[in-house]
Structure 1
Amino acid sequence: MTAKVKYDEVEVGQEIPAAGYRVRRLDLVKYAGASGDFNPIHWNERYAKSVGLPDVIAHGMYTMAQGGRFLTDWAGDPAAVVEYGVRFSSMVVVPDDEEGATVTVSGRIEEKLPDNRVVVALTATSNGSRVLSKARAVVRLA
């Protein structure tokens, strides 16, 4: 776990440095098992292409989880995220190679609230496209 970010150390407008999260097909298979979402567009290239997709795509909730991971890594406490919501704006296409895809997440402090809470706006991209929009979280800091 990283050091806990303190409320008094952040300011409105402050940028949170980006982090990249690799997504491989194996990750999608593991996520399917955990979530129960075995839709073949998330693991079967032939099927994904037959329904008009460019390749296998990551689960939307898996992509959203990378934003949550970014927040908990930054805050240093998994329980810090008290509200979190996104809209899915583009697909994370996951090629069948060792590199897979990368979801890059960054953030900016939008507002400081009472009780050591901050509103964080997230940006998440993959392969040059924004994959989450209207991504916002309320995070309680130390």
Structure 2
Amino acid sequence: MTLEVGAGLPAQTYVVTRANLVRYAGASLDFNPIHWSDRLATGAGLPGVIAHGMFTMALVGRALTTWTGDPAAVVDVSVRFTRPVVVPDDDTGVEVTVSGKVTAETDEGHFKIDVTAISGGEKVLGAARAVVRNR
């Protein structure tokens, strides 16, 4: 995909299931029970089991590599976690949709991208931005 300032980037939708959370916990060694136990998650004041924040951020990285066609093109990614991604205990999971807009080109010829991640109709990341190399 050719990037240019002002271009909207096509939405990428990812399904997150409890099985994804189990795999991520194993890979990241983050076994906090809020990522697998409804009882403990709600006891901590959460609406239910939530996805790991870094898992949600990784979905942004996945979208960026889809848009650029090259994982090495991603120079920088930053986000603020504003809402949890609540993952139900079913076989359907929950969708996270990541979209973006190219906002500027740097002096180095890189592109700045504002990223939006939505789950359950709500933005789950704030101040989500990335810098990618121009191919």
Q: Normalising by structure 2, what TM-score?
A: 0.95
The alpha-carbon deviation at position 21 of structure 1 amounts to: 0.6
Partner residue in 1 for 2:82: 89
Aligned residues: 135
| Aligned twin of 2:41 | 48
Shift of residue 13, structure 1, vs aligned partner: 1.4
3-state secondary structure, aligned to 1:104: strand
**Is residue 2:104 matched to residue 1:111?**
yes
Q: CA RMSD in A?
A: 1.1
Which is further off, 55-64 or 110-119? 110-119
1:32 to 12, 25, 38: 25
| Structure 2 partner of 1:70 | 63
Report the secondary structure of 2:95's partner residue: strand
Q: CA deviation at 1:116?
A: 3.4
CA distance in structure 2 between the partners assigned to 1:29 and 1:79 by the alignment: 27
Counterpart residue identity of residue 67, structure 2: W
Counterpart amino acid of 1:43?
A: W
Q: Post-superposition, which runs of at least 4 consecutive aligned residues in structure 1 deviate over 6 A? A: none
1:65-89 deviation per Cα after TM superposition (whole angstroms, max 9, x unaligned): 1001000011000111001100001
With normalisation by structure 1, the TM-score equals 0.91
Residues of 1 paired with 2:50 and 2:84: CA distance? 6
The corresponding residue for 1:57 is 50
1:17 aligns to 2:10 (yes or no): yes
**Which of the numbers 122, 125, 135 marks the counterpart of 1:129?**
122
Give the deviation of 1:52 after TM superposition. 1.8
Q: Distance in 2 between matches of 1:116 and 1:12?
A: 11
- The residue type equivalent to 1:28 in the other structure is L
Q: Which runs of 5+ in 1 are unaligned?
A: none
